[in-house]
Amino acid sequence: MTQQIFTLPDVGEGLTEAEIVSWKVQPGQTVAINDVICEIETAKSLVELPSPYAGTVVELLAREHETIEVGTPIIAIGDSAATHDGGAAPSAPASPPPPAESPVPTMQEPGVESGPLVGSGPKADAAKRRPRRQPAAAPAPSVPQMATPAAESTPSGAADEGGAVWRASRSGHAPLVGGAAEASQKPEPGNAVVGLLSRVLAKPPVRRIAKELGINLSDVPATGARGEVTRADLESYQAQREREQAAAPTFWDHTKRPSERRIEIVPVRGVRKATAKAMVDSAFSAPHVSIFVDVDASRTMEFVQRLKKSRDFEGVRVSPLLILAKAVIWAAARNPSVNSEWVAGPEGDEIRIKHYMNLGIAAATPRGLLVPNIKDAQDLSLRELAIALNELATTARAGKTKPADMQGGTMTITNIGALGIDIGTPIINPGEVAIVAFGTIRQKPWVVSGEVIPRWITTLGGSFDHRVVDGDLSARFMADVAAIMEEPALLLD
């Protein structure tokens, strides 16, 4: 059998290495071209790698969580055509097809969708009506809706003395149905999971509650009449989870173990590694100067409320960050040098002023700090900018930011006020000369026309590369940003 070796490609970021986060295939599994074979993490994003070949997975050449260089072999895929005309292949001989009216679905190969284990037949949108369920040759106990990985089950395809095929269930091992037809359907060796369902049955209210509680429905034992997860199942599972959490040791593990055994080691890799290097390079190469300004953002808050009620913004999430983003774009147009880059070259240093705004938004994600940017933000209307901000945040939190969205930023905003922090000193994103930090907006006493009244106050902080932006320019830029936050109507000028 011929083999194709797939090496780790450059995913378009110019990076030299990546980490294998998880494999989506296993040896012995059949893959088609463009099937996702693994997920990798680079210094900038999480990327799914599609297979360039069709065939059978022969060997995985890299381990999960291993960092490897571009060009390193990661997987060997055999030519599935070699199984024809007497060719050798690592998979088992093909099993005969099941009877047309068989109540048991065929064994599922990884990567191929299947319906529920019992009595469903084809999917609802199939052109052919599903066959009626035929009575089994022998009585069989009811089948739980979900199956667990085969690590907890008997060997795949094993049959009991009555000829019933056994699968792992949440409550133990239970036969699907009895009969010789089932025993004749033998799965290919090497399949780690047999017959996993592609979707858990549950009513929409149950799904909503599970989402609010952060519960994966596939982990909940189902007791519904049709094998669905009920609300009672969910409540029972949550109560059990709370009991386990209450019984778990606290972070400060008061034990007599040596101190070195109570130290958690977190490898620095991926986004965290790249962020650390970038921040060190920026902090010790660009001389930072920071200034701060308190702003009466009461009219910004009123403007945000009007936008939320506007039909033009129906279905669009609006926050004060939208007004700040527009203010930064407006102020940069009046002070172009803050939207530039310092470039050191062999023939002399130069400042490159950019007449476009790729606005970066610092986003805290489970993978670390990401700074995707909105391309040509200066050309977007207020509504378009709001949509772009929402999509950017949603994609970043899901870890699906594209590599191209992480490149080419010209200025950055970091919203530390979302966590109730008044202000901080931000570090400039490499390749830029300015960053604006946005503190929380809270009601404070404020003097207006000689009277002390409650107003919505925030603090803005800006850090600038002093090689490009001197004190006068940074002050004028921050004053312009503050002016928009105090009176958004200036955007109409």
Return the active site residues: 466
76, 59 in Cβ contact below 8 A?
yes
DSSP secondary structure, 203-224, as one string? -HHHHHHHHHHT--GGGSPP-S
Query: Phi first, then psi: what are they for 452, rounded to 5°?
Result: -90, 115
Q: What is the 3-state secondary structure (H, E, C) of 365-390?
A: ECCEEECCEECCHHHCCHHHHHHHHH
Q: Which helix (H) or strand (E) holds 482?
A: helix 471-486
**Tokens 């088992």 belong to residue:** 92
Q: Is 336 helix (H, G, I), strand (E, B) or coil?
A: helix
Q: Are strands 442-448 and 411-415 parallel, antiparallel or unpaired?
A: unpaired
CA-closest candidate to residue 436, choices 448, 423, 446: 423
- Packing angle between helix 231-247 and helix 204-213, nearest 10 degrees? 10
Which of 59, 62, 56 lies closest to 78 in space, CA to CA?
56
DSSP state of 165: B
For residue 163, the Cα-to-chain-centroid distance in whole angstroms is: 44
Identity (one letter) of the amino acid at 55? G
Dist. CA 332–CA 340, nearest whole Å: 10
> Rounded distance, CA 183 to CA 167, Å?
12
Alpha-carbon distance of 42 to 19, in angstroms, equals 6
d(CA 79, CA 461): 59
355 burial (CB, 10 Å; 0-12 / 13-18 / 19+) is: exposed
CA distance linking residue 360 with residue 392, whole number of Å: 10
Task: Give residue 414's Cα distance to chain centre.
Answer: 20
How far apart CA 384 and CA 387 sit, in angstroms, is 5
